[in-house]
Amino acid sequence: MNRTAVKNAKRLVIKIGSALLTNDGAGVDRIAVDDWVSQIVGLLREGKEVVLVSSGAIAEGIARLGWTTRPDSIHDLQAAAAVGQMGLIQCYETSFLRFDRHTAQILLDHDDLASRQRYLNARGVLKKLMLLGVVPIVNENDTVVTDEIRFGDNDNLAALVANLIDADLLLILTDKDGLYNANPDQDPLAELVTEKQANDETLDGLVSESSGTLGRGGMVTKLQAARIAASSGCSTVIAGGRNESVLLDVCAGKNIGTLLTANEKPIAARKQWLAGQLQLKGRLVLDAGAIKVLVKQGSSLLPVGISEVSGAFGRGDLVSCVDDRGNEIARGLANYSAEEAMKIRGQSSDSIIDILGYRDHDEMIHRDNLVLS
């Protein structure tokens, strides 16, 4: 994808971070929200479809409760999310109603996307809302899901949503103008990276964890999100959310922000779902022969090719397949539990029944349930 393809993108996921939405902690910045909403409505009038992934609930709750810093306690964070979500959605609803546009609140967590049935339900409702001209506003379900508060962030959630709805473009608004070749806060000569492939390994040395007190992400998670989105053929633009008309300008194909292109074609829906999952339950170390047949021949993973097993996974859980240096080769759904895998690793499929007393599958992971990384 180039800037012309960005201009032609029809289905967009737009993510706005906490620092932007809450004016660095001063509560929801309603003037800024009104401006972004006006631009989103402009995109809708052009025939584009938009799903908005919005951070800010916890940060808004912290402001409403009069706290000066982000708390560490899980229950304090949940309370802040519960209080802040009210104000955040109210702000969006009021702003979109200026243009007679309805909105819908969608609270998700990674468990919703890890369950195949819930994944399909979420996919169906988001697509239906877009068809109705309603703007879905997605946020993490921070109020009740402790794992989500500790684990994820809305950059990755936005990427998962992009995979979920087969988006053409993920647009991440941040408080920086994009990805730089050095830290722009420290180096006045830092230059904006205008375009790279999302999987370009040279990008890893350019990102750092966020030092902010409100959000959980930084450029690390934005790069990770771009790579997740790329797995389904969706490119990503990271751009400065405070720039005037940023959404309209990016979608007009202007050279704004950092474009991280997908160098892969969209993959089948089931494998797209597998590629987007972040919560792995275990790890299988493969020998060179197994890696070769997976990568070159697209074969299933047999027990004979497994040298090490770790984790506490059960049948049907998602596991990572790595080489002896820990580099991920693939991921997929295990046909046998970790305990069973420990017993049959390195053995032929014909030996499974002798070892376990039964043989439900010849494969540890069937190729239909496996996707290359």
pTM, whole model, 2 decimals?
A: 0.79
Strand stretches in 60-197, DSSP E: 103-108, 135-140, 169-174, 195-197
pLDDT tens digits for 97-123? 999 999 999 998 777 777 777 887 889
Shared domain for 68 and 150, answered yes or no, is yes
**Cβ neighbours for 192, distance < 8 A, ≥ 6 positions apart:** 177, 178, 179, 180, 257, 258
Give the pLDDT score at 208: 57
Q: Do 225 and 367 belong to one domain?
A: no
Res 149: pLDDT: 41
What domain range is 362 assigned to?
280-372
Which of 233, 248, 271 terminates a domain? The answer is 271
- 93, 224: one domain: yes
Tens of pLDDT, residues 220-237 = 889 999 998 998 889 999
Residues 145 and 78 in one domain: yes
Give the pLDDT score at 212.
42
| Position 317 pLDDT exceeds 70 | yes
Q: Which residue has the higher pLDDT, 268 or 94?
A: 94
Please tell me whether residues 349 and 223 are part of one structural domain: no
Q: Say which residue, 267 or 8, is predicted with more confidence.
A: 8
- Helix or strand run (H / E) with residue 52: strand 49-54
> Based on the domain organization, do 225 and 78 belong to the same domain?
yes
Same domain, 170 and 230: yes
Q: Same domain, yes or no, for 209 and 302?
A: no
Domain end position, chosen among 251, 271, 291: 271
Residue 179 is part of a domain; what is its CATH number? 3.40.1160.10
- Angle (deg, nearest 10), helices 30-45 and 74-97: 50
249 and 318 housed in the same domain? no
DSSP string, 324-366: TTS-EEEEEE-SS-HHHHHHHTTS-GGGHHHHHS--S-S-SB-
pLDDT of residue 218: 74
Residues 299 and 239 in one domain: no
CATH, residue 323: 2.30.130.10
- Co-location of 267 and 284 in the same domain: no
Number of domains the chain contains: 2
Structure tokens at 114: 């890890």
